[in-house]
Amino acid sequence: MEYKSIREMADEWGISKRRIQVLCSENRIEGAVRIGYSWTIPADANKPEDARIKSGKYRKNRNDDKS
């Protein structure tokens, strides 16, 4: 299996190196392996979907009724 560095994947996916480090640490890139202080990512790995809120509304699971 062929692996790429964070820098190579950042250029390929168009996102920052730091963002890829965060995605790796959150186990959102399948097959990413940490070797010492750096990550190696499979060359055929898919870019994870953006998990940010798209609606602009944050939803909390709390009761807003103040009785």
Query: Could you read off the pLDDT tens digit of each residue along the chain, which spans 67 residues?
Result: 899 999 999 999 999 999 999 999 999 999 999 999 999 999 999 999 887 777 767 666 666 555 5
Domain boundaries, the chain: 3-42
Give the CA radius of gyration of the chain.
Answer: 17
| pTM, 2 dp | 0.74
Check if the beta carbon of residue 37 is closer than 8 Å to that of residue 23.
no
Within a 13 Å sphere around the CA of 19, how many CA atoms are in the beta-carbon half?
13
Written as six digits, the tokens of 9 are 């994947």
**CA pair distance 43, 31, nearest whole angstrom:** 10
